[in-house]
Amino acid sequence: MTEIDQTVLIAVDGGGTGCRAAVGTVQAGIIAETRGGPSNVSTNFEGSVANITETIAQALHTAELDGIDLSQTVAHIGVAGANTEGEMRQVEAALPYGRCRVTGDRATTVAGVLGADDGYVLALGTGTIIARQHAQEMTTVGGWGFQLSDQASGAWLGRTLLTRILLAEDRLIDHSPLSSEVCARYGGGNELVVFSNTAKPSDYAKFAPEIIGAADNGDKIALSILNEGAQYVECGLNALGFRPGDGLCLSGGVGPRYAPYLSAPYIQNLREPQGNALQGAFSLARRVAVAAS
C-alpha cells in the first residue's frame, strides 16, 4: 500500500442553505459524511468558514480521524459565493488544510453530476447552475449570485412570490390561493417588506416547496412563476449550445421539479445524475492527490 493511498481527502459542498462535508482516503473513498450550517461566503464570510471547519471536524471525528495532521490533508472545497479567483484564494487562506483548493459550487456540481461525460446540467437549489461539459471543460451561464442573478432557483422562486403578492395587494394582479395564504400568514404587505429587509437567500428558498406544491395543484401565481423560471432555463441552455436530444441532468432540490415545465426538446434525453456535488468535490480532491504523487 502506497503513501498516497492513505492520504486523507476532504470534500465540501457548501450552499446558502447548508453545507455537507465528506472525508476519506484515496484507497477507501468516502468514509464519513456530515451536514452543517449555511456556507455562502459572499453573504457571511466568517460564519461560512466557521460552519465549513466545524462540519469537517465532525466528519473527521465520525471517521475516527480526529488526530491527523490537517496540514497533510488534501481538500477540495466547493462553496456558493466564491465566484472570483480572489474570493477563492481568500477562503483558502482562512482554512487550515494542507493542499486546499477552493472553487465555486459549479465545478463540484458538474463533476458530481456528469463525472467525465459530456452533457448539460441544470442544478437548482438555493442558487442556480446551468452548465455544459465537453471534454471535461465546463462552460456556464448565469448563477452570478442572488443579488443580480440566480433566476429559477429556490431563492428566486421565493422572492418572486413575494413580489407577486405585493402586486396583488396593489390590485395590479389578482391574488391566488397561495398568495392570499402567505400574505395573511405574514400579516400583510407591510410585514412582507419588513421580512425582506433582512431576508437571506436561504430565507426566500424556504418558500420553494410551497410554491412547487401549489403549482402542482394549479395555483395561477405559482404556475406563472415556474413557467417564467423554465423560460429562463431554456434560454440559458440555448446559450450554451443545447440541441434537441442532447443529454440533460436535472439536480438539486429544485432542479428535477422543473421537468413538467420544460419544453419537449429539453427533456427528450433526461439522464440521472451520476452523483452529487459532494461526491464531485471528493473526486476533485482525489484527482489533486493522485496528480501530486
Whether 223 and 284 map to the same domain: the answer is no
- Tell me the C-alpha distance between 99 and 175, whole Å: 54
Whether 260 and 127 map to the same domain: the answer is yes
Give the pLDDT confidence of 261-274 residue by residue, as tens digits.
Answer: 999 999 999 999 99
Whether 58 and 175 map to the same domain: the answer is no
Whether 121 and 108 map to the same domain: the answer is no
- pLDDT, mean of residues 14-20: 88
Whether 184 and 99 map to the same domain: the answer is no
- Tell me the C-alpha distance between 263 and 231, whole Å: 9
> What pLDDT does 140 receive?
95
Whether 258 and 157 map to the same domain: the answer is yes
Whether 183 and 128 map to the same domain: the answer is yes
Please write down the long-range contacts of 168-171, taking CB distance under 8 Å and 24 or more positions apart.
Answer: 168/221
Whether 123 and 245 map to the same domain: the answer is yes
Whether 282 and 264 map to the same domain: the answer is no
Sheet holding 119-124, edge to edge: 137-141, 128-134, 119-124, 248-251, 270-271
- Report yes or no: 9 and 24 within 8 Å, Cβ to Cβ: yes
- Report yes or no: 80 and 42 within 8 Å, Cβ to Cβ: yes
> What pLDDT does 136 receive?
84
pLDDT tier, 5 (very low <50, low <70, confident <90, very high otherwise): low
**C-alpha grid cell for residue 223?**
404556475
pLDDT tier, 1 (very low <50, low <70, confident <90, very high otherwise): very low
Residues in the chain, total: 293
User: What's CA 90's distance to the chain center, in Å?
Assistant: 20
pLDDT over 60 at 208, yes or no: yes
Whether 101 and 9 map to the same domain: the answer is yes
**C-alpha grid cell for residue 281?**
468535490
Domain CATH number, residue 242: 3.30.420.40
pLDDT over 80 at 3, yes or no: no
Number of domains in the chain: 2
- pLDDT, mean of residues 64-71: 91
> What pLDDT does 19 receive?
94
Helix (H) or strand (E) holding 250: strand 248-251
Structural domain containing residue 222: 117-272
Give the pLDDT confidence of 212-223 residue by residue, as tens digits.
Answer: 999 999 999 999
- pLDDT, mean of residues 16-35: 93
Give the pLDDT confidence of 85-140 residue by residue, as tens digits.
Answer: 999 999 999 999 999 999 988 899 999 999 989 999 999 998 999 999 999 899 99
- Tell me the C-alpha distance between 140 and 246, whole Å: 16
- pLDDT, mean of residues 60-84: 92
Helix (H) or strand (E) holding 280: helix 277-292
Question: Residue 233 gets which letter from DSSP?
Answer: H
- Mean pLDDT for all residues in the chain: 94
pTM of the model: 0.84
> What pLDDT does 4 receive?
57
Give the pLDDT confidence of 147-173 residue by residue, as tens digits.
Answer: 899 999 999 999 999 999 999 999 999
- Report yes or no: 278 and 11 within 8 Å, Cβ to Cβ: yes
Whether 284 and 190 map to the same domain: the answer is no
Q: Please list the alpha-helical segments (H only) found in 63-140.
A: 85-94, 105-114
Give the pLDDT confidence of 226-244 residue by residue, as tens digits.
Answer: 999 999 999 999 999 999 9
Beta bridge partners of 29: 25
Number of H helices, E strands in the chain: 10, 10
Whether 128 and 254 map to the same domain: the answer is yes
pLDDT tier, 145 (very low <50, low <70, confident <90, very high otherwise): confident
**C-alpha grid cell for residue 108?**
463540484
